[in-house]
Amino acid sequence: MGSVSWRKRGNRYLVSWRLDDGSQGGKTVDTPDEARDVAAEKRLEMRRGTWRGRQRGRLAFSAWATEWWVTWAADEPSPTTLAATESWLRLHVHPWFADRPIDKITPADVRRWQAQLARDVGPSTVAHCRSLALRIFQFAMDEGAIDANPVRKVPPLKRRVDPEEVFGELKRRALTPEEAGRLLACFPLFWWDHLSTLLGTGLRFGELAGLRRRRVHLDRPMPVLEVGPTRYQAGRFGSGFKPRPKSDAGIRPVPLAPLVVEAIRRQLPPGTDVDDLVFTGPGGGPGQRGGPSVPRGARTVLSRHNLHRTYQGALAKLADPAVPLRPTARRVLRALRDGGPWYVDQLAAQLTTNGPPIRPATVAVALRELQAARLAAVDVDDQDELTGRWAALQVARDPLLDAVDLHGAHDLRHTFATWLEDAGIPARVIDELMGHEATGRSGQHQGSAMGARYRHTTPEMAVRVTDAIQQRLTVVLQVAGHTLEGLPNRSALKVF
């Protein structure tokens, strides 16, 4: 049994204690009453068994973070949640608190960390990291290592209103149907059905990539797809399929517009296996390291990284119309931009001097391709294409890049929700179709949480949704088709 005692030491009083394991300590106070109170508190802690928790307060924050991670991960969160949490912890939380004893970290330390973090990352990352720190300190508090959670004593940072956002100067995230059509025209034809379905359903990428044949019902009076299994790619935490989305609200039926039904029918694999994936990758490539190559046209599991690279390639074509040109045409265009105007013979000689030999006839074909793309023109005084002088034209990038903040396939989910709002679909229905959890913390949701249980999406509302999407997708495909017809080199849109 441990012991606690106190005695006068000079003008002050020393409280000392010894534990069962032989460890000992002491504390100096100013008055006899304080000494008696401290001694009584230590005896109570020994009797309740909380003293060992106080000793654990000397452990470093990193040790508690590791212990919390093991406990939290035992509940089997999704691999993508594991990957994101590990990244926030490693990059933004652990480096600041690191090896400091957790009982020595004060609210002032948390306040400084939060302020520094806000200067380096966005509000969303600050909120995620603050939540992580809160849970780790709470875990230590529940184990008796600290008396209070310092994060709770520091108010979260208020997100300041951006004047540019108030005045509408910030780029929007959603596309108009015309803009979506111009973007779609920059994708290889293989991806058109994938993107049309994303635009027409608001699915997340993982929900599209995990869609199985048995979850698609195209022959019902109101065709629907059911969101269930999803695909995940979580770095070192693996990749594959999980049986359900992250939240219960993600398990939902989505009504399908006729154009979306056609896109899905084209992607359905042959056969009747109900577990076949509906949307797959284009195949082709070296395959996994050490494994066989993937034949062209093979149905491969859809990859987020593959689609993202293709998406960025489409944005590059919008930024520079020369990107989809054939190599010879790009080579001729660079020569015109660097030194033109040139005659055809001069261009052929210049290109031969600076690279592989090229015939004037080949240069003439490339010039006609540039002319069709409005990237080059013959001198107005020399109408003969073969004998006239050619010059490069100034071409601006597509204006939608200056109006819309484009990142990746998730832009199409923003677009779907915006189209429904423009069509007057109630916010509750949009949330239901998007798979968003209802919350009472936002002023955007009108009515009570209980009232939401009494309001349901009727067949008539589903018809309104599909009509709105059908009208906009029709414009998208028309604009994409017209844009594609004007491209001088359609081979640039090949799948492989």
The strands making up 12-18's β-sheet, listed across from edge to edge, are 3-9, 12-18, 24-29
Determine contact, residues 234/83, Cβ cutoff 8 Å.
yes
Q: What pairs with residue 12 in β-bridges?
A: 9
Q: What is the mean pLDDT, run by run of 10 residues, along the chain of 496 residues? A: 83 83 77 90 69 69 94 89 94 93 93 94 93 95 88 88 63 93 94 97 95 95 94 90 88 96 94 92 67 70 92 90 82 85 88 88 88 81 69 83 91 96 93 80 47 65 95 96 70 38
State the pLDDT at residue 441.
45
**Which phi and psi (to 5°) does residue 491 adopt?**
-65, -15
State the pLDDT at residue 308.
94
3-state SS, one letter per residue, for 313-347: HHHHHHHCCCCCCCHHHHHHHHHHHHHCCEEHHHH
Q: Is 107 exposed, middle or buried (0-12, 13-18, 19+ CB in 10 A)?
A: middle
* Number of C-beta neighbours around residue 387 at 10 A: 11
Q: Kindly report each contact of residues 27-36 with a partner whose C-beta sits within 8 Å and lies 24 or more positions away, as own/partner.
A: 32/8, 35/6, 36/6
Closest of 69, 63, 68 to residue 97, by C-alpha: 63
Determine contact, residues 157/114, Cβ cutoff 8 Å.
yes
Report residue 219 as tokens.
């022959």
Spatial separation of the C-alpha atoms in residues 216 and 319, rounded to whole Å: 37
Helical axes 177-184 vs 410-422, angle rounded to 10°: 150
Q: How far is CA 312 from CA 187, 202, 318, 432, 470, in A?
A: 10, 20, 10, 30, 26
What kind and span of H or E run contains 65?
A: helix 61-73
| HSE-CB for 105 with a 13 A CA cutoff | 35
State the pLDDT at residue 450.
43
Whole-prediction pTM value?
Answer: 0.75
Closest of 300, 124, 301 to residue 206, by C-alpha: 301
The CA angle 71-77-81, to the nearest 5 degrees, is 110
Closest of 422, 465, 427 to residue 446, by C-alpha: 427
State the pLDDT at residue 117.
95
